[in-house]
Amino acid sequence: MYRLLYSEQARNHTPQPKHPLTPWQRLADNTDAYFRRILAAHRSQMQCGAGCSMCCHHQLSVPVVEALVLLQALENLPAAIKSTLHQLPSTPDTEKGCALLMDDRCVAYVGRPLACRTHGLLVRQPDLDRATDPTGPSAPAAIYRCPLNFVDGTYPEEALVDVDRMTAELMAVNQVVAHQFGASAELRVSIRELARRGVKALPDLPLQHASV
């Protein structure tokens, strides 16, 4: 979707302007590297792996920058999978989880949001109400964990994700990207609608910018 436009200067090896999604990709790469380190250090306490979709049974929305990343990943899918996604009903089936989940695997894994990249880790959420914590009273109210991970009740400090800091970094990147693409930085789009409707799910985004 985001085709680099090679000018005469580019062909002469003149440095090109940074790709608009590069800052987000850097965040994603850092998050993935952090996850791999924690998984390697705590493999016995984490059940994360291909085919596990415990964390994928949510109906998430994403900001503009992550909507654009997902659109790029969706555009590169095989035609048969695209067709299946485009035929999804508008009302989600909460029992089936995320619209991008097929056979317990994410079809747009390469473009998944930062929130998905931290699933499986311990997430520090200062405002999390214990009563709504799906792991129950065994976990501290400010920490969310996958019910399959860290079940012995020990929560290593290095495995704690500061969700407020991650969100702040994401929103800073989103502010810049939304401005570049002429969209509202406040816009959030459901992943399901992105899967169903593609770029049409971004009402604030001028269509001429969506194929840059």
For helices 22-41 and 163-180, angle between their N-to-C axes, nearest 10 degrees: 160
pLDDT in tens, 140-157: 557 888 999 999 888 898
User: Per-residue pLDDT for 15 more than 50?
Assistant: no
pLDDT of residue 210: 43
pLDDT of residue 131: 41
Identify which has the larger pLDDT, 181 or 211.
Answer: 181
pLDDT in tens, 112-136: 999 999 999 998 766 554 444 445 4
Are 145 and 135 a contacting pair, CB within 8 Å?
A: yes
Are 60 and 115 a contacting pair, CB within 8 Å?
A: yes
pTM: 0.80
How much of the chain exceeds pLDDT 70, in percent? 78
Q: 9 CB contacts (<8 Å, ≥6 apart)?
A: none
Residue with tokens 């990207």: 177
